[in-house]
């Protein structure tokens, strides 16, 4: 498998004709190669996007944009199984999650196909015979920098609203998941009514292409999903150009569990929420805060659920967790978990590296610890792997105070059968998304994004269009008859 760049409607090698290997994280085997581009490829893609934005009718034809999006969704729908298999092969996640990701992407593209035809402005009289029109216009050229953990749905979450709004885009894929990115974009490239240059892909092993997009005066928007460290670098590097920034960053999700729930049912759902993509999801359950009256019982229920997690090859039936994405992630996460196990109040389940058939992949089994001081590094830092921290609280106020003691603000969940309490707690939590008696439910219709250091702007939902549009006010004094 060779993943090429897509520039101005053509699949091309990079100017320097360099390639880097793509790997299967479950076996360590090479599965293909992708273009290791440099700055010149980024500049060519920016030129193509500019040309498409300013010289084609894309920006002014919402009906065309809708048809392109709908046809792309249908083409993806015909390839759900091969795309899901490729996603599992390249990312390692279990096949059920991969199928869900492709289906979610199809649904989201259809959602934005509808919105493409409804981006209304305003027109009103401010004084007799004096009118103001407020137009929402496409922002221009958008650079989309995508992570590897959910490479289809996180690509679509930025690209579909960018296309619906009328932007032309350059995608910078994550090096670990460029094969699946290219396969998803190949289905779009087959849509013959898509003008060349409206969507471009430039892959790389390092960061030169991303840096070129961020620093370019010709790129009007950067939509970045990834870590805080990189998000902060991007914000600083983009400052001289004053471009629009959409930053979807890390999180440290708390789950607040009250004493009126069914313990074993909730424990099993919380563990599922924690081990999603092997704990490599921004919204994964990290801290489980439990009312003190059910703390000991919850500890036993969580221990049973964590110990029964099936870790293995993503394509095998019944697996719940695949490997981490690469050797560097395994080394980093394993070290952070070991440090947490060494310094917590109590180790309930000690996970670790796996041997046998799994020893060539980047596998690690989940760990569960208990700790009371929420200032501990493992209650504060985003550890991007399968570690769960159990804590207790005395009352609602204490629960909220503990959950809000974080620099993040991405998501949280509340578990109770008391309807008033669930809304009271949801109101008090400082997070962009709150789930009640559920977790990790991310849907096309509902805006997601972060408070505080979890980011800037919102993706999903109608408001994602804000990140890809400018507002223009046109004033006209026409007088009166």
Closest distance of CB 211 from ligand NAD, Å: 6
Q: How many CA atoms lie within 13 A of 288 on its CB side?
A: 31
Closest distance of CB 213 from ligand NAD, Å: 8
Q: How far apart, in Å, are the Cα atoms of 479 and each of 128, 132, 133, 475? A: 7, 13, 16, 12
Contacts of 440 (CB under 8 A, 6+ apart): 273, 276, 281, 283, 284, 285
Active site residue 13: no
List alpha helices for 7-152, DSSP H: 39-55, 62-77, 80-91, 95-115
Closest distance of CB 258 from ligand NAD, Å: 27
Comparing every residue's Cβ against ligand NAD, the nearest one is: 226
Closest distance of CB 145 from ligand NAD, Å: 5
Name which of residues 143 to 162 contact ligand NAD (CB under 6 A).
145-149, 154
Closest distance of CB 216 from ligand NAD, Å: 13
Q: Point out which span in 79-87, 242-250, 355-363, 418-426 binds ligand NAD (CB under 6 A).
A: 242-250
Contact 97, 151 (CB under 8 A): no
Q: Look up residue 188 and give its DSSP letter.
A: H
User: Greatest CA span in the chain, whole angstroms?
Assistant: 87
Considering the candidates 187, 255, 282, 344, report the single residue annotated as catalytic: 282
Contact 155, 184 (CB under 8 A): yes
Name which of residues 367 to 386 contact ligand NAD (CB under 6 A).
382, 384
Contacts of 310 (CB under 8 A, 6+ apart): 318, 319, 320, 321
Closest distance of CB 164 from ligand NAD, Å: 19
Name which of residues 425 to 464 contact ligand NAD (CB under 6 A).
455
- The site string for ligand NAD over 261-290 (x = CB under 6 A, - otherwise) reads ---------------------x--------
Q: By CB under 6 A, how many residues form the interface with ligand NAD?
A: 27
Active site residue 248: yes
Q: How far apart, in Å, are the Cα atoms of 428 and each of 58, 257, 294, 375, 404? A: 43, 15, 22, 20, 9
Distance from first CA to last CA of the chain, Å, rounded? 70
Q: Which is nearer to ligand NAD, 146 or 168 (CB)?
A: 146
Q: Which is nearer to ligand NAD, 92 or 250 (CB)?
A: 250
Alpha-carbon distance of 165 to 52, in angstroms, equals 14
Strand partners, 127: 130
Closest distance of CB 169 from ligand NAD, Å: 14
Could you say whether residue 250 binds ligand NAD (CB under 6 A)?
yes
When binding is defined by CB under 6 A, the residue of 86, 194, 249, 369 that contacts ligand NAD is 249
Could you say whether residue 31 binds ligand NAD (CB under 6 A)?
no
**Quick one: CA dihedral 368, 372, 373, 374, positive or negative?**
positive
Q: Point out which span in 61-69, 127-135, 228-236, 420-428 binds ligand NAD (CB under 6 A).
A: 228-236
Q: Which is nearer to ligand NAD, 52 or 222 (CB)?
A: 222
Could you say whether residue 363 binds ligand NAD (CB under 6 A)?
no
Name which of residues 127 to 146 contact ligand NAD (CB under 6 A).
145-146
Q: Which is nearer to ligand NAD, 65 or 460 (CB)?
A: 460
- The site string for ligand NAD over 387-416 (x = CB under 6 A, - otherwise) reads -----------------------x------
**Quick one: CA dihedral 461, 463, 469, 475, positive or negative?**
positive
When binding is defined by CB under 6 A, the residue of 104, 151, 197, 251 that contacts ligand NAD is 251
Strand partners, 135: 472
Q: How far apart, in Å, are the Cα atoms of 204 and each of 17, 30, 219, 343, 453? A: 12, 17, 18, 39, 27
Q: Which is nearer to ligand NAD, 106 or 329 (CB)?
A: 329
Considering the candidates 101, 215, 248, 336, report the single residue annotated as catalytic: 248
Closest distance of CB 9 from ligand NAD, Å: 23
Least Cα distance to 374 among 417, 397, 351, 403 occurs for 403
Name which of residues 154 to 213 contact ligand NAD (CB under 6 A).
154, 172, 174-175, 207, 210-211
Closest distance of CB 321 from ligand NAD, Å: 17
Hey, what are 76's tokens?
């993806």
Hey, what are 81's tokens?
């199984």
Name which of residues 42 to 81 contact ligand NAD (CB under 6 A).
none
Contacts of 118 (CB under 8 A, 6+ apart): none
Least Cα distance to 464 among 148, 186, 199, 136 occurs for 136
Q: Which is nearer to ligand NAD, 361 or 450 (CB)?
A: 450
Q: Which residues bind ligand NAD (CB under 6 A)?
A: 145-149, 154, 172, 174-175, 207, 210-211, 225-227, 230, 233-234, 248-251, 282, 382, 384, 410, 455
Annotated active-site positions, please?
248, 282
């Amino acid at each position: 498998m060779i993943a090429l760049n897509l520039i101005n409607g053509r699949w091309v090698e990079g100017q320097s004709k360099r390639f880097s290997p793509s790997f299967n994280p479950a076996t360590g085997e090479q599965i293909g190669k992708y273009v290791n581009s440099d700055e010149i490829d980024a500049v060519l893609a920016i030129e193509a996007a500019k040309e498409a934005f300013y010289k084609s009718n894309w920006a002014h034809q919402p009906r065309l944009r809708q048809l392109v999006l709908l046809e792309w969704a249908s083409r993806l729908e015909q390839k759900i199984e091969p795309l899901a298999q490729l996603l599992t092969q390249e990312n390692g996640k279990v096949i059920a999650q991969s199928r869900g990701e492709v289906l979610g992407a199809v649904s989201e593209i259809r959602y934005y196909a509808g919105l493409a035809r409804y981006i209304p402005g305003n027109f009103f009289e401010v004084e007799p015979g004096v009118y103001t029109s407020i137009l929402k216009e496409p922002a221009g050229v958008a650079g989309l920098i995508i992570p590897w953990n959910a490479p289809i749905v996180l690509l679509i979450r930025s690209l579909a609203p960018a296309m619906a709004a009328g932007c032309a885009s350059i995608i910078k894929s994550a090096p670990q998941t460029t094969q699946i990115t290219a396969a998803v974009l190949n289905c779009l490239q087959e849509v013959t009514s898509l003008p060349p240059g409206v969507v471009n892909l430039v892959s790389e092993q390092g960061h030169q292409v991303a840096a070129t997009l961020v620093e370019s005066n010709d790129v009007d928007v950067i939509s970045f999903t990834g870590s805080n460290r990189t998000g902060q670098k991007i914000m600083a590097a983009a400052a001289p150009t004053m471009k629009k920034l959409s930053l979807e960053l890390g999180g440290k999700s708390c789950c607040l569990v009250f004493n009126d729930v069914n313990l074993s049912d909730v424990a099993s759902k919380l563990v599922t929420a924690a081990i999603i993509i092997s704990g490599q999801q921004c919204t994964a359950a990290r801290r489980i805060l439990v009312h003190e009256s059910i703390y000991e019982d919850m500890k036993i229920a969580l221990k049973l659920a964590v110990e029964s997690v099936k870790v293995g090859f993503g394509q095998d039936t019944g697996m719940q967790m695949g490997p981490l994405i690469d050797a560097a992630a395994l080394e980093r996460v394993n070290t952070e978990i070991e440090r947490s196990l060494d310094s917590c109040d109590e180790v309930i389940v000690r996970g670790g590296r796996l041997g046998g058939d799994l020893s060539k992949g980047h596998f690690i089994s989940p760990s569960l610890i208990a700790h009371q001081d929420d200032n501990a590094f493992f209650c504060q830092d985003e550890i991007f792997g399968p570690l769960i921290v159990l804590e207790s609280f005395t009352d609602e106020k204490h629960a909220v105070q503990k959950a809000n003691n974080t620099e993040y603000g991405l998501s949280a969940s509340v578990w109770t059968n008391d309807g008033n309490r669930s809304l009271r707690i949801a109101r008090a939590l400082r997070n962009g998304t709150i789930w009640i008696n559920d977790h990790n439910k991310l849907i096309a219709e509902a805006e997601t994004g972060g408070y505080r250091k979890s980011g800037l702007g919102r993706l999903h939902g109608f408001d994602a269009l804000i990140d890809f549009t400018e507002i223009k006010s046109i004033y006209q004094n026409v007088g009166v008859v």
